[in-house]
């Protein structure tokens, strides 16, 4: 009985409370950082120091991330009946997830590998690398690794698409503030649970790391009207 209750408490916290906490921190902390320290809202790019492998790593990583983000949004937030209406039944949806998700995950992992190699082997880049950079790379590696584990699990055991239906219902239940959304996650494979949990941790970390720059495109109008940033050369003259 104790283990059952503990399991329910863990699931309730991770899949009912944590999603709302993560999104609240993401939005609130991002707004505060944008208002209080607007010039910290940047990638802190090291490309000016060294461009070694940067272009290919950046392109692979960002293309993969965009594919994964778009796929997750469509797969989780679109009602299954709508998808079935256009011929994307759960089994077909599962196959698409395996193929497209696998390709995107490989792109991201190659990008992360090149980013990490560059930070380890280029002494100038390594000198300006912060602990938060390794923290972000570790989290991204972890979430993609468990995402790949989910794909492998789907290939071996879950090609019916049943898990996709559960995950989609869970995500949409959270959007409608259903108080028992967490119960849908009890029978989901452990790989999916860890994948989602790490993903929520990444959401919370965005306002406090270089990942903050993902808001730049959305906030472009604000960027265009904000005060000019003054740069000074070594001789003290404004640039």
Q: What is the model's pTM?
A: 0.85
pLDDT level of residue 228 (50, 70, 90 thresholds): low
pLDDT value of residue 65: 94
Report the distance separating Cα 221 and Cα 238, nearest Å.
25
pLDDT (tens digit per residue) in 68-84: 999 999 999 999 889 88
- Give the Cβ contact number of residue 187 at 10 Å: 9
Q: CA–CA separation, 164 vs 79, rounded Å?
A: 11
Give the lowest-confidence range in 40-44, 136-140, 195-199, 214-218.
40-44
Grade residue 210 by pLDDT with cuts at 50, 70 and 90.
confident
Predicted confidence band at 46 (pLDDT cuts at 50, 70, 90)? low
Tell whether the torsion through CA atoms of 174, 63, 82 and 183 is positive or negative. Answer: negative
- For 79, left (φ over 0), alpha (ψ -120 to 50), or beta? beta
Indicate if the pLDDT at residue 238 is higher than 60.
no
pLDDT at 239 over 50: no
Lowest-pLDDT range of 26-35, 110-119, 226-235: 226-235
Q: Mean pLDDT across the chain, nearest whole number?
A: 86
Q: At residue 47, does pLDDT exceed 90? A: no
Q: What per-residue confidence (pLDDT) applies to 218?
A: 62
Angstrom distance (rounded) from CA 33 to CA 99? 38
Ramachandran area for residue 193 (φ above 0: left; ψ -120 to 50: alpha; else beta)? alpha
């Amino acid at each position: 009985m104790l283990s059952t209750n503990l399991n329910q408490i863990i699931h309730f916290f991770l899949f009912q409370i944590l999603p709302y906490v993560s999104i609240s921190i993401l939005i609130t902390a991002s707004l505060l950082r944008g208002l209080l320290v607007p010039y910290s809202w940047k990638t802190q790019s090291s490309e000016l120091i060294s461009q070694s492998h940067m272009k290919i790593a950046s392109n692979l990583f960002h293309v993969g991330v965009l594919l994964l983000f778009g796929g997750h949004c469509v797969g989780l937030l679109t009602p299954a009946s709508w998808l079935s209406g256009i011929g994307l039944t759960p089994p077909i949806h599962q196959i698409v997830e395996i193929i497209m998700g696998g390709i995107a995950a490989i792109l991201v992992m190659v990008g992360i590998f090149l980013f990490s190699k560059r930070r380890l082997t280029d002494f100038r880049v390594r000198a300006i690398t912060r602990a938060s950079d390794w923290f972000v790379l570790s989290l991204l590696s972890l979430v993609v690794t468990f995402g790949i584990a989910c794909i492998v699990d789907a290939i071996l055991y879950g090609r019916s698409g049943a898990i996709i239906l559960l995950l989609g219902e869970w995500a949409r239940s959270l959007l409608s503030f259903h108080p028992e959304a967490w119960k849908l996650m009890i029978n989901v494979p452990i790989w999916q649970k860890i994948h989602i949990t790490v993903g929520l941790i990444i959401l919370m970390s965005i306002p406090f790391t270089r990942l903050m720059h993902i808001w730049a495109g959305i906030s472009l109008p604000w960027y265009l009207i904000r005060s000019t940033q003054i740069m000074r050369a070594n001789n003290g003259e404004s640039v």
